[in-house]
Amino acid sequence: MITIQKKVLFSMVAFGTLCSSSLLAQNNENIIKSIMTLRGDVESLYTKIDENKDAYKSQMKSYSLQISDNEAQINRQETSLKLTAQNLEKIEAELKEIGSNSKDIKPMIQNALLTLAKEIKVGIPFKVEERLAALVKITTDLKSGDITQEKALALTWANYDDALRLTKEIGLFKQEISLDNEAKLAKIAKIGSVMMFFSTLDEKVGYVKQEGDAYTYVAVTDEAHKTQIVKLFDALQKQIRTGYFSLPNALILRGVN
Give pLDDT tens digits for 71-96.
Answer: 666 766 667 677 777 777 777 676 66
| Dist CA 132 CA 54 (whole Å) | 54
d(C-alpha 88, C-alpha 84), whole Å: 6
Q: pLDDT at position 8, please?
A: 46
Q: Give me the residue spans of the domains in the chain.
A: 1-75, 99-166, 170-237
Residues 204, 219: Cα–Cα separation, whole Å: 6
Task: List pLDDT tens digits, range 20-42.
Answer: 556 566 666 777 777 778 777 77
Cα 46 versus chain centre, distance: 36
| Digit-coded pLDDT (tens) for 94-128 | 666 655 554 678 899 999 999 999 989 988 899 99
At residue 249, φ and ψ (nearest 5 deg) are -70, 95
**Strands of 214-219's sheet in order across:** 170-179, 182-191, 195-200, 205-211, 214-219
